[in-house]
Amino acid sequence: MAQQQQISLPAKLINGGTAGIVGVTCVFPIDLAKTRLQNQRSGQQLYRNMMDCLFKTVKSDGYFGMYRGAAVNLTLVAPEKAIKLAANDFFRHHLSKDGGRLTVFKEMLAGCGAGMCQVIITTPMEMLKIQLQDAGRLAAQQRVLPSMVPSLKLGVTNAVLSRSYNTSPGPHVIRVSAMQITRELLTTKGVTGLYRGLGATLMRDVPFSVVYFPLFAHLHQLGRHSSEDPTVPFYWSFLSGCLAGSMAAVAVSPCDVVKTRLQSLKKGANEETYNGVVDCIRKILRKEGPGAFLKGASCRALVIAPLFGIAQVVYSVGVGEFLLGYSPYSIYSA
């Protein structure tokens, strides 16, 4: 029986890492737009929507400006996706030792375990990525600050603007690398500095995995050729990953807004600082209304859908099994 076959954890880690790198390369500009839209406050909107954000980014920073922070993601997404996808397979495999199909509860439990494992890498990765992605928004805000915030009191601007940016007309952004940010955080805050927003990351990633993995498993099974031939076409794996990913992404979008706000170290003029998840939720509700929790939701869906569609296809190809000499095996074919 397929469920009795042993899975190769190293092969699954290779599959997950390859899947993550391919997916991120394709969708990173949309993720950058999502971060900048989520960090916008009411009355200080630089970008009307995703396309406006991307156009303005290319105009001010060039084509590769859309990939600010991509190096961090490409470096850490391999272990992050490897842990997430491999952990889900690992938990599903061990929860189905009796050889029967997993119940929905056990599928959700496996997804919960995967979400809790991945934050080891996700939290510092997102922490660094957000600083690099949002730097362009802060610099652009300085260029248009007088027209955006005419009521600022004299002297406030210089106090709140980041020291990493030139405040003269037409400011030039000083390129701060992920290594510089990491060193500064480790020096001033220690290792915990890299794990700022851990609670919010768990609040986002655990429910996401609880929704995503069972939904993907059930959609994926619908694409089987027959009960005798459980293989699934690549295009069906892609579509299943896209649909499950987009639905799970929208479901946890409010948590992603909170996480992004908490992990943004540098603030623009008149932007709130937050003391934890509860304080962040309360201030957003009071000053921006419930709609603020859906900022960037469409961008996030557009990021996650192809990201997980591509990831599931690459993952199911079995690159790791091929490299290590194992026969391909999918836990979803059981």
Q: Which of 33-37, 308-312, 330-334 is most confident?
A: 33-37
Residue 190 CB burial class (10 angstroms; 0-12, 13-18, ≥19): exposed
Name the residue with higher pLDDT: 206 or 85: 206
CA atoms within 13 A on the CB side of 147: 6
Angstrom distance (rounded) from CA 77 to CA 34 = 18
Beta strand ranges found along 179-324 (DSSP E): none
Q: 45-101 pLDDT, tens per residue?
A: 788 899 999 999 999 888 888 988 888 888 888 788 788 888 888 898 888 876 667
Angstrom distance (rounded) from CA 101 to CA 83 = 23
pLDDT at residue 262, as a whole number: 93
Q: Which two tokens stand for residue 158?
A: 């210089």
Angstrom distance (rounded) from CA 167 to CA 155 = 13
* pLDDT band, very low/low/confident/very high, at 202 (cuts 50, 70, 90): very high
Q: Say if residue 301's pLDDT is above 80.
A: yes
* pLDDT band, very low/low/confident/very high, at 20 (cuts 50, 70, 90): confident
Domains annotated on the chain, with CATH: 2-333 (1.50.40.10)
Name the residue with higher pLDDT: 152 or 237: 237
Q: Say if residue 272's pLDDT is above 60.
A: yes
Q: Say if residue 285's pLDDT is above 90.
A: yes
pLDDT at residue 327, as a whole number: 63
How far, rounded to the nearest angstrom, does the alpha carbon of residue 257 sit from its chain's CA centroid? 11
* pLDDT band, very low/low/confident/very high, at 280 (cuts 50, 70, 90): very high
Q: Say if residue 39's pLDDT is above 70.
A: yes
Q: Say if residue 205's pLDDT is above 90.
A: yes
DSSP letters of 99-149?
A: SSPPPHHHHHHHHHHHHHHHHHHHHHHHHHHHHHHHHHHHHHHHHHHHHH-
pLDDT at residue 145, as a whole number: 57
Angstrom distance (rounded) from CA 24 to CA 255 = 21
Mean pLDDT of 205-213: 94
pLDDT at residue 243, as a whole number: 96
Q: 133-183 pLDDT, tens per residue?
A: 888 888 877 776 555 544 433 333 333 334 443 334 444 455 678 888 899
Angstrom distance (rounded) from CA 283 to CA 274 = 8
pLDDT at residue 328, as a whole number: 59
Name the residue with higher pLDDT: 320 or 146: 320
Phi, psi angle pair for 173, to nearest 5°: -80, 125
pLDDT at residue 250, as a whole number: 94
Mean pLDDT of the chain: 81
Q: Say if residue 212's pLDDT is above 50.
A: yes
pLDDT at residue 213, as a whole number: 92
